[in-house]
């Protein structure tokens, strides 16, 4: 749904900055070795030509042997030691973790969506497929999976982290600039692996505080008659069995928390825009859009579907 494809070469985070330095260094080192080998090759060809035109072959000189030592032992030792040293430096920079995180967020991978739970005093703030963070301030992500192996990657911000059953991995995520970044699941996890994206939005710290305060709050009461009818549809149909809307009496734990659904830009892990059309299509035929998800097809009559979508759109 995001306009641009993510690139790990456009570093906007501390982690991706380390990786970009590593890639740049290896590219320069590899390029220099390539140019050197090419130069030597050209020199050998020219030398052979000169020799041939100079008459019968000379007795073997020591220069060739010297080149074997230089090119076969000394040069690889220098280059590989430099690459190893640089890589060790990158690894230790990752291990250092950078500044102290301002907040801890639990990220739980499900087939095929991401649950995001802010911890501590903000434990009521639960979103799906969307992580908001304050610019320049690290969040500690605690990553785990509810089912199979997944992998969490926001190329513009940090490295990939595998999410393995029975284990918890942590990542200090920092965004240096405000912006919206696309993240992907990068470990094949089944039928809808390709539709398991998410977005990370970096905003100014005061904006983040406002966002977090709103996400921590309960859902607002419906204002209009259509919204009230839609809430009733939600509570009386199968929706409430799987989804939570805090403050509305729905506490299902299977699918994403919908308490502030209307604040999100997309649904179904970046599969559809969070619009009236997107919501209606998704509720009517989730299996047609993303086969294999837990969400069943709904049999709601048209007017009830309209009211339900009106209610969902009011969940700001
Ligand atoms: Cu989750 Cu691929």
Give pLDDT tens digits along the chain (316 positions): 665 677 777 778 888 888 888 999 999 999 998 999 899 899 889 988 888 777 666 556 666 788 788 888 898 899 899 999 999 988 888 877 677 888 999 999 999 999 999 998 888 999 999 999 999 999 999 999 999 999 999 999 999 999 999 999 999 999 999 999 999 999 999 999 999 999 999 999 999 999 999 999 999 899 999 999 999 999 999 899 999 999 998 889 999 999 999 999 999 999 999 999 999 999 999 999 999 999 998 889 999 999 999 999 999 9
What whole-number distance in Å separates Cα of residue 132 and Cα of residue 260? 13
For ligand 1, whether the C-beta of 191 sits within 6 Å is: no
CA of 273 to the centre of ligand 1 (A): 20
For ligand 1, whether the C-beta of 195 sits within 6 Å is: no
Give the containing element (helix H, strand E) for 220.
none
Instruction: Identify the pLDDT of residue 285.
Output: 94
CA of 199 to the centre of ligand 1 (A): 15
What is the atom index within ligand 1 of the atom nearest the CA of 188?
2
Strands (E), 74-178: 103-110, 113-118, 126-128, 130-134, 139-145, 150-153, 161-163, 169-173
Strand partners, 106: 117, 142
In 177-238, alpha helices (H):
205-216, 225-236
- Supply the pTM of this predicted model: 0.86
CA of 127 to the centre of ligand 1 (A): 18
For ligand 1, whether the C-beta of 163 sits within 6 Å is: no
| Residue pair 252/244 in contact by the 8 Å Cβ criterion | yes
What whole-number distance in Å separates Cα of residue 311 and Cα of residue 297? 19
Instruction: Identify the pLDDT of residue 216.
Output: 93
- The DSSP symbol for 73 reads I
Please give the span between the terminal C-alpha atoms of the chain, in angstroms, as a whole number: 20
| Residue pair 108/114 in contact by the 8 Å Cβ criterion | yes
| Residue pair 147/165 in contact by the 8 Å Cβ criterion | yes
For ligand 1, whether the C-beta of 160 sits within 6 Å is: no
For ligand 1, whether the C-beta of 193 sits within 6 Å is: yes
Residue closest by Cα to atom 1 of ligand 1: 150
Instruction: Identify the pLDDT of residue 17.
Output: 87
CA of 161 to the centre of ligand 1 (A): 12
- The DSSP symbol for 70 reads I
Give the containing element (helix H, strand E) for 94.
helix 75-96
For ligand 1, whether the C-beta of 143 sits within 6 Å is: no
For ligand 1, whether the C-beta of 161 sits within 6 Å is: no
For ligand 1, whether the C-beta of 185 sits within 6 Å is: yes
């Amino acid at each position: 749904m995001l306009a641009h494809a993510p690139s790990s070469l456009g570093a906007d985070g501390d982690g991706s900055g380390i990786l970009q330095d590593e890639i740049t260094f290896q590219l320069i080192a590899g390029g220099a070795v390539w140019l050197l080998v090419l130069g030597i090759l050209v020199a050998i060809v020219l030398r052979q030509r000169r020799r041939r035109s100079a008459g019968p072959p000379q007795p073997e000189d020591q220069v060739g042997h010297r080149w074997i030592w230089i090119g076969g032992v000394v040069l690889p030792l220098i280059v590989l030691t430099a690459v190893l040293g640089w890589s060790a430096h990158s690894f230790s920079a990752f291990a250092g973790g950078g500044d102290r995180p301002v907040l801890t967020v639990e990220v739980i991978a499900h087939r095929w969506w991401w649950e995001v739970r802010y911890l501590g005093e903000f434990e009521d703030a639960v979103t799906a497929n969307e992580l908001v963070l304050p610019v320049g301030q690290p969040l500690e992500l605690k990553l785990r999976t509810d089912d199979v192996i997944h992998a969490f990657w926001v190329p513009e911000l940090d490295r990939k982290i595998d999410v393995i059953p029975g284990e918890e991995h942590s990542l200090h995520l920092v965004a240096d600039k405000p912006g919206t970044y696309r993240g992907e699941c990068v470990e094949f996890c089944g039928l809808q692996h390709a539709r398991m994206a998410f977005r990370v939005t970096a905003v100014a710290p005061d904006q983040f505080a406002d966002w977090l305060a709103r996400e921590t709050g309960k859902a607002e009461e419906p204002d209009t008659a259509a919204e009230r009818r839609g809430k009733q549809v939600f509570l009386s149909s199968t929706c409430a069995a799987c989804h939570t809307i805090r403050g509305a009496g729905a506490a299902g734990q299977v699918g994403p928390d919908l308490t502030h659904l209307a604040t999100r830009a997309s649904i179904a892990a970046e599969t559809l825009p969070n619009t009236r059309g997107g919501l209606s299509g998704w509720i009517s035929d989730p299996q047609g859009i993303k086969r294999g998800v837990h969400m069943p097809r709904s049999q709601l009559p048209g007017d009830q579907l309209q009211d339900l979508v009106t209610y969902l759109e009011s969940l700001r």
